Amino acid sequence: MKRLAVFCGSRDGTNDHYRNTAKRFGELLAQHDIEIVYGGAIVGLMGAVAEGALEHDGKVIGIIPERLKTVEIMHPDVTEMHVVETMHERKAKIAELADGFVALPGGAGTMEEWFEVFTWAQIGYHQKPCALLNINGYYTPLIELFDHMISEGFADPHYKEFIMMEEEPEDLIDRLRLFSN
């Protein structure tokens, strides 16, 4: 795995553990020579992941829509920054550049980005890993929702096989490094 798309919040959340773990995740990616492709912001968990990687000489590629440059505060120190017109272009560019996808905690935007690439994997548009870093059990309710979708007949049980989930950054990176697309 050369490049990993990281979807996560533009906020820090209510517990310092989110930000600290996001920063450690960025550090570990840099130490394993895995480049980060992300939303380009300096704020929230996005900024923490980028900061962790950059402090350890990692390569960080930001993709940010023009209208979010000031709202999300574009990171001035990333290795490479692409400014696009729309959110659709942002997601397409991230998907194009990445060899895999991971979501850290975040809000509706994070969910939407991850669900899109997860759905693409289900319907065969790509064979890239779709992972969740389950910091503080953040994604446990999502897995419960998937179980509910399956039990109610709205999703095939094998769809859960497309989800790679770990609670610790080190464990997730170990699994991602084993994945070849």
The pLDDT value recorded for residue 161 is 87
DSSP letters, the chain, are --EEEEE--SS--SSHHHHHHHHHHHHHHHHTT-EEEE--BSSHHHHHHHHHHHTTT--EEEEEEGGGTTTTTB-TT-SEEEEESSHHHHHHHHHHH-SEEEE-S--HHHHHHHHHHHHHHHTTS----EEEE-GGGTTHHHHHHHHHHHHTTSS-GGGGGGEEEESSHHHHHHHHHH---
Q: Is there a domain that residue 75 lies in?
A: yes
79: amino acid identity, one letter: T
d(CA 106, CA 8): 5
CATH number, domain with residue 166: 3.40.50.450
Residue 52 clears pLDDT 70, i.e. is over it: yes
Counting the structural domains of the chain, the total is 1
Residue 180 lies inside a defined structural domain of this protein: no
Q: Which of 51, 57, 44, 54 is nearest to 23 (CA)?
A: 51
Does the residue 124 lie in any domain? yes
Domain membership flag for residue 85: yes
In a domain, 40, yes or no: yes
Reported as a pLDDT band with limits 50, 70 and 90, residue 180 is: low
- What pLDDT does 72 receive? 67
Give pLDDT tens digits for 93-148: 999 999 999 999 999 999 999 999 999 999 999 999 999 999 999 999 999 999 99
What angle do the packed helices 16-31 and 169-178 form, to 10 degrees?
40
Task: Say if 65 falls within a structural domain.
Answer: yes
Judge whether 109 lies within some domain: yes
Domain range for 151: 3-175
The contacts of residue 6 (CB under 8 Å, 6+ apart) are 25, 26, 36, 37, 38, 46, 49, 102, 103, 104
Q: What is the pLDDT of residues 18-49, one digit of tens each?
A: 999 999 999 999 999 999 999 999 999 999 99
pLDDT band at 69 (very low <50, low <70, confident <90, very high): confident
On whether residue 39 sits in a domain, the answer given is yes
pLDDT for 75 equals 94
